[in-house]
Structures are given as structure tokens and as C-alpha cells.
């Protein structure tokens, strides 16, 4: 049927709305002037250099990367067996447990942040970094449940039964048969969880301290007092990181699919 | 060895993490708010809900979330329809493009609007240079700015919700409507939109709850003069050390979250479609 | 001018291959005409051109004297029954049926009256408030028909409306459709790939192949006097062999043949065709001409009859014989092709 010109125009406008702001920031990051303006004046990479030279950003990046990695690993460690149990077994109260596992999605992140601050840092008197690790793990664990769970659901149980009939124990079947076949789901879950942990703000502002600041928070703090293209450059770098991660994820998922 | 129970161990880590570090902390924070000074009472809630300052913030949160949701629906319906009718390859590209911003940091996305809406921002500079205005307009640090930023944040989510539902609405039903005398617009409004309800509901839940709990967007685009519940929690808890208020707000935010899901689930089961599960 | 007239319709999707090639079709008022053919022959495309869902690259569409070639779908007044029925899942049966009336801005009371009447006609009165998902296949079909007919359309287009039903229901519904069509007198075009279904209810059949209509005749004519090899094969002819026109009849390899059926136009080189069940296996009779001699190669038992593959100088012919005693492979046999059953293409 004929495509409506009207719909095409609306779609173009909406996509423009979605992308123009990001492109704008990218362009302002190359200016030679010391204020954020459009169009950019000249072409310079000095603001990118400044990002790498700013200690607060680099420290924050290191912290974000390490904590997010660790939190994601923890989330997967907890989530994969949980997803397996939910997928393969039926038991009384299953729906309740399922709701529980997905409840982090229902709770606003600021509430989680505040509660964990009171519990882990004030009550348990644990290190801020540990609080951050645990908090981020809880907030991204649903990615593990949902994505890995979907992978396991689509895996034919018959191949596990085949493994068992050939003499493998349940544990062996899990590690040698199930895991390799859900590898693309695990990779997907890992990367999505990592990006979300890295980008998190509402939870992490509660779980910060002197010297313990994640990159998004550091960026917010910087913007409060400085309005210069360093932020633009940092934005571009963060966007590139996301693109890179998703591109790698696509490659890995496709390769895993071919091998699996 | 009791074989039956071994697999239950698989659930233990997950349960431990969530119970210990989600359920317990939240209960610890919320339950005391129902018993200030040791006795069961709703006095804290009464104080909160009768304070015009707090009520204003609650009202703003609901208002902004609702408006954002409506805008996302209005913009999302035609665009999702167009995308759902595309060929498989190009459709995938369009969806990937629409969801790419979801991977970017909320701070970056809010910053983009600061650059656009600020007093020295793109729009103001443009309008002044063309002579439309003599003084920069104040667009930032308004409720409208929060709405714009929130729509920017959540439109991709509404798009993906709608596209997946619209893909399943066949052409034949619309052809039938046309053959019976409905033009394209009537067919869209009376056939496609009602049949897209499940997607509209799922999208609305995500957009509404997302906007109501977002932090960096209201903070950066609304500032202290336009607080929402999330920025209020931070202010009360970390800057003013008013944990009582923070607890009350936390409880209210959870109630709002579950209420929205509950109401919309109720709506959707009235339409006999599948439930919204998180 | 006929009630429905398609003239010189060309349709091609990618500019190279023509899906419909100078297609022409005339349908008289009140007739039920079927488009029959294998998938890909263009029958659905023809229907969709009529309905306005496809714009032809060339040609014209006329209905009841008016040209509709460029009229948008919603401005035509043609009733359509889709293969999947395309009922609106979010509306009740009566709302589905009332939709077309709503589009024509009929008053509420008028609408109710008409909906009730047609529900009576299709025997679905007690299902008015149900939803499509609560109905069986046959019931949904009747709702689709009712919805299309209630607005009093100029014609009715049916796109394989019975293919989603089981065999028994298909038989029942095709009779109902025909009865409804005859009662209302609405001109109808019916698309199907099922030969028996089409023959049993149509006034005329258009057999289509590769975007053209190979033959457009009454079902009886098509069944007994196919005009082309494709049509003949389609309706069950199996034995094809070469013939040459000579004198008042035909001849090949010295054997004379006569055919009582009117000859289709063509050159000297022709093809003869006959159905396996029309071949007579001769015992003692010796008719004049139309006899082919051969040897039985394979005998297949079909339950009711035996089927023989006979090797002849004309090629392998298949003959069905209820002859007792049955023949055995290796037997010499004489096959008689009665003149009134021998078709010359």
C-alpha cells in the first residue's frame, strides 16, 4: 500500500530530534574556543587532551570501570544459576520468587540508593566501594535474569537429557553443555549490564564519597562549575565507548551463534 | 542425598543478594516511617501530604511524568507505525538507531539540552542573532525543560514497545477497514491504535515510572527550583539529613511505581491482552 | 459493456517481470465468476487490482459503467472477504458488521436494523455480542460475509475464503456462499486453487496461468473441452500425444483419428489428449479408427479400478480400466479413444 508522505516526514523529524542533540555535542567538542558554541570555531582536539589530563575524570573512569565490571560479574554469578533454576524447574511459589527477582525494576533507583546508603555504609559501616559494588550488582541483576533466562528457555532441554544419558552429572551438563550454548546470551547480558552499571547515576550519587566518585557523577559535578567543551569531549568519549561495546557485543554474539 | 533440593541452591545466591541488599534495606528505611517515636502512626505522612511545598513537588512529578508519557505516545504512534511497515533490513537499522541513545549516559543526554536550551545555548543564540528576541529566553530550569529532557530519554523505549506490537497487526485488517469505507486516518485511529493498546500500555508504564524516578535529568534541567521526588529524596537525605522525610518520600515513590503498574495492568486485562511483567 | 470489465491490465512489481499481462475479463451482472489457477498465476493479483489494493501499470477497471482505475479503496463500494477473514479482533460481531455502515454515517437505529437483519440471514443472531476469537472458523467466515454484504456493495470479491476451513466445513460453506450470492444477486469474483470447489459453484471459470487467462468458460466447457494443454492438465487430462490435421480428421503414424469436439484454432501440428478413465480397453470390438495398440508395462491397483501404463508408439499412455479379468504386464492391448472424449489442442 502506498506509504504516506506525512508519516515519512514525521519519522524524519523525530529521528532528527533524537540524534541532533548528540551530534551537536560532538561538534562542539572540536572547537578551538574556550566556550561551548555552535558552529564550532576551528578544529582542535585539545579538549580531548584536557579530558585525559583531568585527574578527577581519570580517577572516576578507573573507579567506574572497575566497579561496574565487578558488579556485572557478581550479577551474572548470581543471575545465571538463578535463571537456570527458574527456567528448568517448577515449584510452589515460583511466581513469587520470579516477582522478587525482577523487583529491582520496580523500585526507583534513588530509593535503592538511599536505602543502601543507610544500610551498608551507615549501619554495616562497610567501605563505600563495596557498597557501590553491591548496589550496582542489585540494580543490574535483572538483566542477567531476563536475558540469560531467555537464552536458557530457548535451549532445548533434550540436549541436557542427552548429556545425562551419556553419563554426565547435572553439574557437568551445566558447565559443558548448557553454558557454551547460552554464551551469546551471557555476553549480551554482560555488556548490557555493564553499560547500565557504568552509566548509573541515581544509585551512585548516594554511594559516593571523597575520592569515590563515578564518572557520570564526576561529570555532573564538573558541569555545575564549569561550562566548557571539556564536557563535550568527555560526552563524545563516553558515547564512543558505548558504541564500541555494542559493536563488540554484536560481533561476539554473531560468532557465538555460528559456533553454537 | 536429597536430590530434589540440590537445585534450590541455585536460587540461594540470587535470593540472598536481593533479600539482603534490596528488601531488607528498603524495609529498614520505610517501616520506621510508619512508627515515628515508637508508636504506629501516619503522622509523618500527614505532615508530608499537608505541606504545600512537598505537595507541589509530588504534583510536579506526576504532572511531568504524565505529560512526558502523552507526548511519547503522540510522537511514538505514527513513527512506530511507519517503522513497523518497513522491510526487515531497514526496519532493524531504524530500531537500532532509535535505541542507540539508550546506551548513552543520562548526564550526557541532559547536557545536550543544556547546550541547546541554555541562556548561552544554541536556540537563544540563533534567535538573538536573527533578531527574533532581544534578551535570551529562560528555557532551562523550567518544568518544560524537564519534560523535553524526559521525552528525549524515554521516547526510544516507547518506540520499541509500539513497534513490536504493531508488527503483529496485519495489513488485511486495515485493508478490510478501507474496503468498508474508512480512509487511512480513520483506519489508523479505529483499528491500528486500539489493537496497539498492549504496546501503548507497556510503553506508558516504562515511560511514566522512568520519568518519575529519573534523577539526573530533573536535576540538571530543572534545578533546585523545580524539584521532583527523586531530587527531593537526595536533598533531604544527603544535604539536610532529614531521613524521616527521605523515608516518607521513598515509600511514596514505591507506592506510585506499583500503583502505576497495577492500574495499567488492570486496564490491559480489561482489554483481555497480556499482562505487563517487569 | 459488461457489469465488471477489466481491460488490458498490466501489473509488474519490479518493472521487469509482468505479473499480469494485458489481462481482460468481463463479468455479467449477477454472475459468480471464479479465478482458478496454481499459486503465482496472478489470480489474487487480479482480485486485488479490482479491489483497488494494487494500481495497475496499465489498463482500466470498469464496474457498472463507471471507471474505478484510480479510485482509492475507501471510495469504492466493493465488498471483500479475505482469506483470513480480517475481522476486527477488538470489536464484537455486531460492531464488526456495523463498521461499514458507520463509515457511511447511517443513523444508529438504521444501523441496528440492518445488522440484525443480516445476522438473521447468516444465522448468527445469537452471536451478536461475541468477539471473533470466541467463534469457530465457519462462524467467522459468515461474519466476514455479513460485514461485506450489509453495506450493499456493487460487487463481492472473495480471496480464497474457504482455504482455512477443514474439508467438511469447506463443502458446507461453499454451498452457503453460492446460495447467498444467488439470493442477493450480487456479482461476485471468487479466487481459489481448488478445482472442485470452483466448478461446483461458479457460473463461469477463468483458468489463469502466468498472468494470463488461458480459458474463460462455463465449468462444463472447461472440463470437457479444454482449449490449451495447461488447462487440460489442470482439469485432469493425462495422455498427450502428437497429431497432425489431415483431411477431415487427424492422423499420426498412419492411424486415423476423429474427434467429435469442436476444434480449437491452431496450425497443422496438434496435440491429442484424453482422460485415463475415458480410454476404452477393447476386447473383441473393432471400431473404425481412434485405436492405438500397445503393451501393458505397469499395472497399479487403486482399489476401485486398475490403472495401466501402456507402452505405445505414441508414448506411454495411462488407462484406467475396470475390466475383468484384469490385464497383466506384458499383455498386448488395444486402446480405443472415443471421438467424443478425444480433445484436440
Interface of B with A in 48-77 (CB under 8 A): 75
In terms of phi and psi (left: phi > 0; alpha: psi -120 to 50; beta: otherwise), the region of C91 is: beta
Of B176, B181, B197, the CB nearest to C86: B176
Cβ distance C78 to B177 less than 8 Å, yes or no, reads no
Whether residues C127 and C219 share a domain: the answer is: yes
* Cβ-Cβ contacts under 8 Å, A114 against chain B: 29, 233-234, 237, 246, 250
Final residue of a domain: which of C200, C224, C248?
Answer: C224
With contact defined as 3+ CB pairs under 8 Å, the chains touching A are: B
**CA atoms of A182 and C214, how far apart (whole Å):** 56
Which grid coordinates belong to A83? 535463571
Determine the distance in angstroms separating the CA of B52 from the nearest CA of chain A, rounded to an integer: 22
Determine the distance in angstroms separating the CA of A248 from the nearest CA of chain B, rounded to an integer: 14
B75-91 residue pLDDT tens: 999 999 999 988 888 88
Whether residues C200 and C87 share a domain: the answer is: yes
Of A107, A195, A199, the CB nearest to B106: A199
Cβ contacts of B97 within 8 Å, gap of 6 or more: A15, A18, A19
Total number of domains constituting chain C: 2
Pairing of strands C187-192, C155-159: parallel
Residue pointed to by grid coordinates 507506592 = B255
In terms of phi and psi (left: phi > 0; alpha: psi -120 to 50; beta: otherwise), the region of A3 is: beta
Cβ distance B152 to A17 less than 8 Å, yes or no, reads yes
Q: What pLDDT does C247 receive?
A: 67
Max distance between CA atoms of chain A, in angstroms, equals: 71
Determine the distance in angstroms separating the CA of A260 from the nearest CA of chain B, rounded to an integer: 23
Residue B272 has pLDDT above 60, yes or no: no
**CA neighbor of B179 nearest in space, from C108, A154, C147:** C147
Whether residues C251 and C219 share a domain: the answer is: no
Name the β-bridge partners of C27: C4
Query: Closest-CA residue in chain C for B270?
Result: C90
**Domain assignment of residue C16, given as a range:** 4-224
Residue B46 has pLDDT above 90, yes or no: no
The whole model's pTM is what? Answer: 0.83
3-state secondary structure of C216: strand
Percent of chain B with pLDDT over 90: 50
Over residues C293-301, the mean pLDDT reads 83
Contact between C182 and C18 (Cβ < 8 Å): no
Cβ distance A202 to B213 less than 8 Å, yes or no, reads yes
Residue C124 has pLDDT above 60, yes or no: yes
Burial of C258 (0-12, 13-18, 19+ CB in 10 A): middle
**Least confident piece of the model among A70-84, B1-15, B43-57, C137-151:** B1-15
CATH number for the segment(s) B44-270: 1.10.3720.10
C49 band by pLDDT with thresholds 50, 70 and 90: very high
* Cβ-Cβ contacts under 8 Å, B258 against chain A: 106
Cβ distance C100 to B271 less than 8 Å, yes or no, reads no
Whether residues C130 and C216 share a domain: the answer is: yes
Of B178, B194, B197, the CB nearest to C73: B178
Cβ distance A119 to B24 less than 8 Å, yes or no, reads yes
Q: What pLDDT does C236 receive?
A: 83
Q: Identify the CATH class of A54-259.
A: mainly alpha
**CA atoms of B215 and B211, how far apart (whole Å):** 9
C72 touches chain B (CB under 8 A): yes
Residue stretches of chain A with pLDDT short of 50: 1-2, 258-260
**CA atoms of C78 and C96, how far apart (whole Å):** 16
* Cβ-Cβ contacts under 8 Å, A227 against chain B: 120
Whether residues C195 and C85 share a domain: the answer is: yes
**CA atoms of B2 and A258, how far apart (whole Å):** 39
C74 touches chain B (CB under 8 A): yes
* Cβ-Cβ contacts under 8 Å, A106 against chain B: 209, 254, 257-258, 261, 278
DSSP string computed for C158-172: EESTTTTS-HHHHHH
Query: Closest-CA residue in chain B for A26?
Result: B112
Residue C181 has pLDDT above 80, yes or no: yes
C190-221 residue pLDDT tens: 999 888 899 999 999 999 998 889 999 999 99
C43 touches chain B (CB under 8 A): no
Complex ipTM > 0.90: no
C265 band by pLDDT with thresholds 50, 70 and 90: low
Helix H or strand E segment including B258: helix B243-270
Whether residues C89 and C194 share a domain: the answer is: yes
Cβ distance B183 to C72 less than 8 Å, yes or no, reads yes
User: Is residue C230 in a domain?
Assistant: no
Query: Closest-CA residue in chain B for A133?
Result: B21
Which grid coordinates belong to C9? 491490465
Query: Closest-CA residue in chain B for C90?
Result: B195
Q: What pLDDT does B66 receive?
A: 95
**CA atoms of A183 and A15, how far apart (whole Å):** 33
Cis check: omega of the bond before C325, within 30 degrees of 0 = yes
Cβ distance A220 to B278 less than 8 Å, yes or no, reads no
The count of other CB atoms within 10 Å of the CB of residue A160 is 18
Determine the distance in angstroms separating the CA of B265 from the nearest CA of chain C, rounded to an integer: 18
Can you give the C-alpha Rg of chain C in angstroms? 25
Q: What pLDDT does B4 receive?
A: 60
Q: What pLDDT does C338 receive?
A: 80
Of B79, B105, B250, the CB nearest to A111: B250
Contact between C214 and C24 (Cβ < 8 Å): no
Distance from chain centroid for Cα C73: 26
**CA atoms of B260 and B264, how far apart (whole Å):** 6
Query: Closest-CA residue in chain A for B19?
Result: A100
- Give chain C's length: 345
Cβ distance A102 to B278 less than 8 Å, yes or no, reads yes
Whole-number Cα distances in Å, C188 to A2, C107, C327: 26, 28, 49
Cβ distance C88 to B183 less than 8 Å, yes or no, reads no
User: Is residue C232 in a domain?
Assistant: no
* Cβ-Cβ contacts under 8 Å, C147 against chain B: 176, 180
Query: Closest-CA residue in chain A for B248?
Result: A111
**CA atoms of C125 and C128, how far apart (whole Å):** 6
- Fill in the DSSP letter of residue C294: E
Kindly report the average pLDDT of chain C as a whole number: 86
Instruction: List the end-to-end C-alpha distance of chain C, in Å, as a whole number.
Output: 31
Whether residues C214 and C257 share a domain: the answer is: no
Of B170, B173, B182, the CB nearest to C103: B182
Pairing of strands C32-36, C204-209: parallel
Phi then psi dihedrals of residue C242, to 5 deg: -75, 145
CATH number for the domain spanning C127: value is 3.40.50.300
With contact defined as 3+ CB pairs under 8 Å, the chains touching C are: B
Burial of C182 (0-12, 13-18, 19+ CB in 10 A): middle
Amino acid at each position: 500500500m502506498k506509504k504516506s508522505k506525512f508519516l515519512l516526514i514525521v519519522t524524519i523529524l523525530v529521528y532528527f530530534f533524537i540524534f541532533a542533540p548528540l551530534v551537536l555535542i560532538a561538534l562542539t567538542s572540536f572547537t578551538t574556543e574556550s566556550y561551548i558554541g555552535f558552529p564550532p570555531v576551528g578544529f582542535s582536539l585539545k579538549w580531548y587532551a584536557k579530558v585525559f589530563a583531568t585527574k578527577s575524570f581519570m580517577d572516576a573512569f578507573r573507579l567506574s570501570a572497575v566497579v561496574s565490571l565487578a558488579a556485572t560479574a557478581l550479577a551474572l554469578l548470581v543471575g545465571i544459576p538463578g535463571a537456570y533454576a527458574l527456567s528448568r524447574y517448577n515449584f510452589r511459589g515460583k511466581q513469587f520468587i520470579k516477582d522478587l527477582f525482577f523487583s529491582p525494576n520496580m523500585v526507583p533507583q534513588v530509593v535503592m540508593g538511599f536505602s543502601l546508603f543507610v544500610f551498608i555504609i551507615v549501619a554495616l559501616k562497610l567501605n563505600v566501594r563495596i557498597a557501590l559494588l553491591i548496589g550496582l550488582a542489585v540494580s543490574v541483576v535483572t538483566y542477567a535474569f531476563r536475558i540469560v533466562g531467555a537464552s536458557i528457555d530457548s535451549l532445548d532441554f533434550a540436549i541436557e537429557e542427552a548429556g545425562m544419558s551419556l553419563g554426565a552429572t547435572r553439574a557437568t551438563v551445566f558447565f559443558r553443555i548448557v553454558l557454551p550454548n547460552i554464551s551469546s546470551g551471557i555476553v549480551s547480558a554482560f555488556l548490557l549490564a555493564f553499560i547500565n552499571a557504568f552509566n548509573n547515576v541515581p544509585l551512585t550519587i548516594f554511594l559516593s564519597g571523597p575520592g569515590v566518585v563515578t564518572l557520570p557523577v564526576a561529570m555532573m559535578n564538573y558541569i555545575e562549575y564549569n561550562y566548557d567543551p571539556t564536557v563535550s569531549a568527555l560526552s563524545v568519549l563516553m558515547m564512543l565507548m558505548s558504541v564500541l561495546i555494542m559493536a563488540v557485543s554484536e560481533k561476539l554474539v554473531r560468532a557465538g551463534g555460528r559456533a553454537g | 542425598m536429597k536430590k530434589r533440593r540440590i537445585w534450590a541452591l541455585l536460587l540461594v545466591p540470587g535470593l540472598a543478594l536481593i533479600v539482603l541488599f534490596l528488601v531488607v534495606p528498603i524495609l529498614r528505611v520505610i517501616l520506621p516511617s510508619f512508627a515515628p517515636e515508637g508508636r504506629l502512626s501516619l503522622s509523618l505522612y500527614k505532615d508530608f501530604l499537608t505541606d504545600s511545598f512537598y505537595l507541589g513537588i509530588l504534583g510536579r512529578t506526576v504532572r511531568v511524568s504524565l505529560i512526558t508519557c502523552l507526548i511519547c505516545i503522540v510522537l511514538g504512534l505514527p513513527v512506530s507505525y511507519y517503522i513497523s511497515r518497513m522491510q526487515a533490513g531497514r526496519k532493524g537499522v531504524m530500531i537500532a538507531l532509535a535505541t542507540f541513545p539508550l546506551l548513552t549516559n543520562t548526564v550526557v543526554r541532559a547536557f545536550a539540552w543544556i547546550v541547546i536550551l541554555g541562556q548561552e545555548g544554541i536556540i537563544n543564540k540563533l534567535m538573538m542573532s536573527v533578531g527574533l528576541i532581544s534578551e535570551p529566553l529562560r528555557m532551562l530550569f523550567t518544568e518544560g525543560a524537564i519534560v523535553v529532557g524526559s521525552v528525549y530519554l524515554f521516547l526510544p523505549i516507547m518506540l520499541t514497545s509500539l513497534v513490536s506490537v504493531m508488527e503483529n497487526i496485519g495489513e488485511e485488517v486495515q485493508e478490510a477497514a478501507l474496503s468498508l469505507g474508512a480512509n487511512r486516518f480513520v483506519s489508523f485511529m479505529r483499528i491500528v491504535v486500539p489493537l496497539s493498546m498492549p504496546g501503548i500500555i507497556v510503553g506508558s508504564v516504562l515511560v511514566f515510572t522512568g520519568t518519575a524516578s529519573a534523577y539526573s535529568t530533573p536535576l540538571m534541567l530543572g534545578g533546585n527550583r523545580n524539584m521532583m521526588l527523586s531530587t527531593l529524596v537526595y536533598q533531604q537525605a544527603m544535604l539536610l539529613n532529614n531521613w524521616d522525610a527521605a523515608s516518607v518520600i521513598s515509600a511514596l515513590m514505591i507506592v506510585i511505581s506499583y500503583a502505576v503498574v497495577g492500574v495499567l495492568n488492570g486496564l490491559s486485562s480489561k482489554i483481555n491482552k497480556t499482562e505487563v511483567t517487569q | 459493456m459488461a457489469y465488471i470489465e477489466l481491460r488490458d491490465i498490466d501489473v509488474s512489481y519490479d518493472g521487469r517481470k509482468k505479473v499480469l499481462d494485458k489481462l481482460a475479463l468481463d463479468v455479467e451482472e449477477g454472475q459468480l465468476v471464479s479465478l482458478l489457477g496454481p499459486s503465482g498465476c496472478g489470480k489474487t493479483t487480479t482480485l486485488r487490482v479490482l479491489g483497488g489494493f494494487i494500481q495497475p501499470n496499465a489498463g482500466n477497471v470498469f464496474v457498472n459503467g463507471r471507471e474505478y482505475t484510480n479510485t482509492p479503496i475507501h471510495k469504492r463500494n466493493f465488498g471483500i472477504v479475505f482469506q483470513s477473514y480480517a475481522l476486527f479482533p477488538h470489536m464484537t460481531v455486531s460492531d464488526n458488521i456495523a463498521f461499514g455502515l458507520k463509515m457511511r454515517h447511517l443513523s444508529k437505529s438504521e444501523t441496528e436494523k440492518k445488522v440484525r437483519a443480516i445476522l438473521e440471514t447468516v444465522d448468527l443472531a445469537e452471536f451478536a455480542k461475541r468477539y471473533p476469537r470466541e467463534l469457530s472458523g465457519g462462524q467467522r467466515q459468515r461474519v466476514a460475509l455479513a460485514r461485506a454484504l450489509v453495506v450493499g456493495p456493487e460487487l463481492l470479491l472473495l480471496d480464497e475464503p474457504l482455504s482455512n476451513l477443514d474439508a467438511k466445513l469447506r463443502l458446507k460453506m461453499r454451498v452457503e456462499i453460492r446460495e447467498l450470492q444467488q439470493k442477493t444477486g450480487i456479482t461476485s469474483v471468487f479466487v481459489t486453487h481448488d478445482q472442485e470447489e470452483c466448478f461446483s459453484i461458479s457460473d463461469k471459470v477463468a483458468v489463469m496461468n502466468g498472468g494470463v487467462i488461458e480459458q474463460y468458460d462455463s465449468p462444463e466447457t472447461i472440463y470437457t473441452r479444454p482449449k490449451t494443454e495447461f488447462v487440460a492438465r489442470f482439469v485432469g487430462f493425462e495422455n498427450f500425444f502428437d497429431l497432425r490435421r489431415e483431411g477431415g480428421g487427424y492422423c499420426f503414424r498412419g492411424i486415423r483419428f476423429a474427434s467429435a469436439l469442436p476444434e480449437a484454432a491452431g496450425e497443422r501440428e496438434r496435440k491429442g489428449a484424453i482422460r485415463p478413465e475415458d480410454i476404452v480397453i477393447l476386447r473383441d470390438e473393432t471400431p473404425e479408427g481412434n485405436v492405438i495398440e500397445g503393451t501393458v508395462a505397469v499395472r497399479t491397483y487403486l482399489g476401485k479400478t486398475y490403472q495401466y501404463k501402456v507402452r505405445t508408439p505414441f508414448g506411454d499412455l495411462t488407462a484406467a480400466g475396470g475390466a475383468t479379468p484384469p490385464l497383466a504386464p506384458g499383455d498386448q492391448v488395444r486402446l480405443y479413444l472415443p471421438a467424443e472424449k478425444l480433445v484436440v489442442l
